[in-house]
């Protein structure tokens, strides 16, 4: 007689193939481990001495960079808890444009400290409550730590205060040169009310060759291709911008033409040529000296454009075409024909110039104020150019942030050390179990100066103890990590002009804490079976051709 196997008394709740993880060990600690691994990946890229990562994405494109935003975008993180950290750092990138690495490193450290508290027996609700109190207190303390301001956003030296350290963390050694370029470009396009500063008005063009010191700012727009026809320069030019091809328009319906002899054949093409010549004569009579198209240019059309002394420029990006419309004041036309006076744009100089062997077309305004400035960067390799572009992008975003909130705090880990110091004191005076998580939150801030010291090859424990002594006993709130002085390892960030934007720090603390709290609030992971049929057999590349 066969034994009867008793069935589970619980009904089948989910479809076959579901996976469930629940409880502190299975769900919370697993999530913390994944987030910590992601944070450790980018932690070594933090600060001026941060190491580069070599990332090869799914399209086999190579990225060599220390920019955390680029690293995590190309890594394709699949773990759901780590994705939450990625999302918060991406939001930081959109909000402020800098300190994405800070968000990941700080959130990872908060979760590490939470794991210690969990193992000590503190409940998750107490940890969350303590972290929320600590976050609000940290933001409150941060408001009091402002040591400098960007007094005048239209001043070169004032703007560089906000830009310099953002640049140094990406391109250490070139920060003076790059902050000069960004400040020059920003002042060229700075509106009367600095709050209306638009990041999109500063463009970057990368041209390989020479070295970074040959980079320069051009008032106007630069396109990486030369003019199409034989005309390569136009001064005080009226500009017509077309989104349609400069060519004979093709009819939508097909037709059949019956030709009896050679004369009829010649007359047929002659009519087309006359019509095209008439269109371009009308455009030339309207005063247009430069025709810009977002599509193709026919050979016959190019012949007539050269004959009427009209310069032709192809701009294949519709976004660049819109920017050019904004710079020149033109309206993009979807029809081929003479533009009305109000639809034409104007530019002082349009010319094709050679930069390091590459021929580019420059739309340049003579007056000092222009709606777009372009930074032309030079370098030896494409990866270097890409990395410099990312540094410039951070610098431009810092200018935007400084025009909204001009307060600066001490950099080099000084602000984080002071926050850790003051929060620890606050934790001591807080009753109940919350004080443990508040103290751990305070300790988490020490990851920033510790990482700066480790990446510079210093003894992190010694540096941290020196910093804590300077902040706690000597009340020097602006003392931070000196990445060049390996003996003492301390520097007065305020005297060394190392500043971070207060608004950047505030948003980073908010996003990092919110991401960590979201991960801690998860107590169960339920994953359904992935959709899709059987996977193709490996080894046989032609499996579907049978």
Tokens 């979760």 appear where? 111
How far is 50 from 48, CA to CA, in rounded Å? 6
Do 349 and 398 fall into the same domain?
no
Do 361 and 222 fall into the same domain?
yes
Do 226 and 374 fall into the same domain?
yes
Q: Is residue 82 part of a domain?
A: yes
Q: Is residue 66 part of a domain?
A: yes
DSSP 323-351: HHHHHHT---BSS-SPPPGGG-EEEEEEE
DSSP 56-74: E-TT--EEEE--HHHHHHH
Do 373 and 234 fall into the same domain?
yes
Do 224 and 372 fall into the same domain?
yes
The predicted structure's pLDDT at residue 536? 61
Q: Token digits for 278? A: 């008439």
Do 222 and 371 fall into the same domain?
yes
Query: 365: helix, coil or strand?
Result: coil
Q: Is residue 454 part of a domain?
A: yes
User: Using an 8 Å Cβ cutoff, are 47 and 455 in contact?
Assistant: yes
Give, rounded to a whole angstrom, the gap between the first and last alpha carbons of the chain: 51
Which CATH number characterizes residue 166's domain? 3.30.260.10
Q: Is residue 544 part of a domain?
A: no
Which CATH number characterizes residue 482's domain? 1.10.560.10
Do 503 and 432 fall into the same domain?
yes
The predicted structure's pLDDT at residue 538? 64
Do 242 and 338 fall into the same domain?
yes
How far is 377 from 208, CA to CA, in rounded Å? 8
Do 87 and 140 fall into the same domain?
yes
Do 183 and 249 fall into the same domain?
no
The DSSP symbol for 381 reads S
pLDDT (tens digit, 0 to 9) for every residue of the chain, 546 residues total? 455 555 444 556 666 767 777 777 777 888 888 888 888 888 888 878 888 888 888 888 888 888 888 888 888 888 888 888 888 888 888 888 788 888 889 998 998 888 888 888 888 888 888 888 889 888 888 888 888 887 777 777 888 888 888 888 888 888 888 888 888 888 888 888 878 888 888 888 888 877 888 888 888 888 877 778 787 888 888 888 888 877 776 666 677 778 888 877 777 777 777 787 888 888 888 888 888 888 888 778 788 788 888 888 888 888 888 888 888 888 888 878 788 888 888 888 888 888 777 788 888 877 656 778 888 888 888 888 888 888 888 888 888 888 888 888 888 888 888 888 888 888 888 887 888 888 888 888 888 888 888 888 888 888 888 888 888 877 777 888 877 776 677 788 778 788 888 888 889 998 999 988 888 888 777 777 777 666 666 666 665 564
The predicted structure's pLDDT at residue 1? 47
Provide CB contacts within 8 A for 177, sequence distance 6+: 212, 213, 215
- Inter-CA distances, 209 with 15, 213, 377, Å: 60, 11, 10
Provide CB contacts within 8 A for 452, sequence distance 6+: 46, 47, 49, 412, 413, 480, 481, 483
Number of domains in the chain: 3
Q: Is residue 537 part of a domain?
A: no
The predicted structure's pLDDT at residue 540? 65
Which CATH number characterizes residue 244's domain? 3.50.7.10
User: Using an 8 Å Cβ cutoff, are 45 and 170 in contact?
Assistant: no
Do 165 and 130 fall into the same domain?
no
The predicted structure's pLDDT at residue 535? 65
How far is 105 from 117, CA to CA, in rounded Å? 19
Q: Is residue 211 part of a domain?
A: no
How far is 101 from 113, CA to CA, in rounded Å? 18
The predicted structure's pLDDT at residue 154? 78
**What is the Cα Rg of the chain in Å?**
31
DSSP 414-448: HHHHHHHHHHHHHHHT--STHHHHHHHHHHHTTHH
Do 132 and 173 fall into the same domain?
no
The predicted structure's pLDDT at residue 486? 62
The predicted structure's pLDDT at residue 541? 62
Q: Is residue 543 part of a domain?
A: no
The predicted structure's pLDDT at residue 295? 80
Phi, psi of 21 (to 5 degrees): -125, 130
Q: Is residue 212 part of a domain?
A: no
260: containing domain: 218-379
The DSSP symbol for 24 reads I
């Amino acid at each position: 007689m066969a034994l009867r196997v008793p069935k589970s008394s619980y009904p089948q709740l989910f479809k076959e193939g579901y996976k469930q993880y629940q409880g502190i060990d299975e769900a919370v600690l697993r999530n913390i481990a994944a987030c910590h691994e992601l944070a450790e990946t980018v932690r070594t890229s933090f600060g001026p001495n941060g190491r580069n990562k070599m990332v090869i994405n799914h399209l086999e494109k190579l990225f060599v960079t220390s920019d955390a935003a680029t690293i995590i975008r190309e890594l394709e993180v699949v773990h759901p808890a780590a994705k939450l950290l990625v999302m918060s750092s991406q939001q930081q990138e959109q909000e402020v444009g800098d300190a994405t690495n800070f968000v990941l490193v700080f959130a990872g450290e908060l979760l590490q400290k939470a794991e210690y508290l969990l193992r000590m027996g503190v409940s998750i609700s107490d940890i969350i409550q303590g972290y929320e109190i600590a976050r609000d207190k940290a933001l409150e303390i941060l408001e009091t730590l402002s040591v400098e301001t960007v007094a005048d956003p239209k001043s070169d030296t004032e703007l560089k205060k906000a830009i310099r350290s953002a640049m140094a963390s990406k391109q250490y050694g070139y920060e003076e040169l790059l902050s000069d370029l960004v400040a020059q470009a920003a002042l060229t396009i700075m509106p009367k009310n600095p709050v209306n500063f638009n990041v999109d008005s500063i463009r970057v063009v990368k041209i390989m060759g020479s070295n970074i010191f040959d980079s320069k700012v051009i008032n106007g727009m630069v396109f990486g291709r030369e003019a199409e026809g034989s005309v390569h320069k136009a001064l005080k030019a009226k500009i017509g911008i077309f989104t349609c091809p400069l060519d004979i328009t093709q009819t939508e319906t097909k037709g059949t033409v019956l030709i009896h002899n050679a004369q009829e054949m010649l007359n047929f093409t002659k009519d087309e040529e006359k019509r095209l010549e008439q269109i371009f004569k009308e455009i030339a009579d309207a005063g247009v000296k430069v025709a810009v198209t977002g599509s193709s240019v026919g050979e016959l059309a190019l012949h007539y454009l050269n004959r009427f002394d009209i310069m032709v420029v192809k701009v294949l990006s519709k976004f660049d075409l819109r920017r050019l419309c904004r710079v020149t004041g033109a309206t993009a036309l979807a029809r081929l024909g003479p533009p009305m006076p109000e639809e034409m744009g104007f530019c002082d100089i349009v010319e094709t110039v050679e930069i390091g062997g590459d021929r580019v077309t420059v739309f340049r305004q003579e007056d000092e104020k222009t709606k777009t400035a372009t930074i032309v960067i030079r370098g030896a390799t494409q990866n270097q150019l890409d990395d410099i572009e990312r540094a410039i992008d951070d610098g431009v975003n810092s200018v935007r942030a400084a025009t909204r909130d001009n307060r600066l705090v001490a950099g080099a880990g000084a602000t984080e050390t002071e926050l850790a110091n003051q929060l620890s004191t606050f934790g001591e005076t807080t009753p109940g179990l919350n004080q443990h998580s508040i103290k751990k939150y305070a300790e988490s801030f020490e990851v920033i100066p510790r990482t700066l010291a480790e990446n510079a090859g210093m003894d992190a424990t010694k540096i941290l103890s020196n910093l804590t002594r300077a902040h706690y006993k000597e009340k020097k709130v602006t003392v931070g990590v000196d990445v060049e002085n390996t003996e003492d390892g301390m520097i007065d960030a305020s005297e060394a002009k190392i500043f971070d934007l207060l608004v950047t720090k505030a948003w980073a603390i908010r996003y990092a804490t919110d991401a960590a709290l979201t991960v801690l609030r998860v107590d169960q992971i339920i994953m359904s079976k992935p959709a899709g049929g059987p996977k193709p057999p490996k080894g046989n590349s032609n499996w579907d051709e049978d």
